[in-house]
Amino acid sequence: MKKLMKLMVVATIILFSTNTFAEELGLKMSNLTSYAAPKKSSKSSGEKAFEGKGSKTLSIGLGMSSYLGNFGSGGFYRYGGYSYGGYAYGFWYSGTLSIQAEFGIHDYVGLGLVTGIGGRNYRGGGGILYVPVGIMANFHFFQLIEDKTSKDIHGDKIDLYAGLNVGSGLAVSFPASSSTIGGMLFVGPQFGIKYYPKPKFGIYAEVGYGKSLLEAGISLKL
């Protein structure tokens, strides 16, 4: 009888120990499963070339601009059919160093300021210096396409956009005999592309009319 009791006690201890070990083993295995490294998504990282509302971008570039005309004490001279300095103003362009600051106000819309300095020579001598100051608005449709299609089209590196620009500024003419100070006007559309090889640094190119007839430079996310 005593031997039977001893065998039952030993069996109970072994059974309890085995169950406890199994429970601990199961818990550890579940912990390993829960802490397993997540699978990498095939889609691009959560970063976007245009980061939407609250984003800030500074762009600096070189190119050509085309303005509506200039004005001064003699009135407004539209660049179209008017000849001055040996040029017919049917198609007027200016070399420009452009500085643009864009602020995201929506997931796909940005508003910004544009300024810079530019000018050109006259055939008959002298020239004209421009200091444009204006505003612009851009719709970043490439980001919208990626979000709506849920496809990886590299929206973290590529930004395609279209918009409008309008503004005025300073126009200083330097004819051969004397100089005059007046103003200038510009308005037009722009279409651009930006590529970001680094998260905060990119390059861009624009075509259009007004501030950007043809332009290229660098873009910095602030």
User: What is the mean predicted confidence (pLDDT) over 202-215?
Assistant: 94
Distance CA 21, CA 201 (A): 56
- Closest residue by Cα to residue 135 from 157, 161, 102: 102
- 3-state DSSP of 128-180: EEEEEEEEEEEECHHHHHHHHHCCCCCCCCEEEEEEEEEEEEEEEEECCCCCE
The H or E element that residue 88 is part of is strand 87-88
Question: In which band, very low, low, confident or very high, does the pLDDT at 37 lie, cut at 50, 70 and 90?
Answer: very low
Q: Indicate if the pLDDT at residue 115 is higher than 70.
A: yes
Q: Can you give the pLDDT at residue 1?
A: 52
Q: What is the pLDDT of residues 150-194, one digit of tens each?
A: 888 999 999 999 999 999 999 998 875 567 889 999 999 999 999
Q: Is the pTM of this model over 0.85?
A: no
Indicate the residue type of 154. H
CA distances from 218 to 11, 95, 196 (A): 79, 17, 10
- At the topology level, CATH places domain 56-221 in Porin (2.40.160)
Residue 214, token pair as written in the block: 């043809």
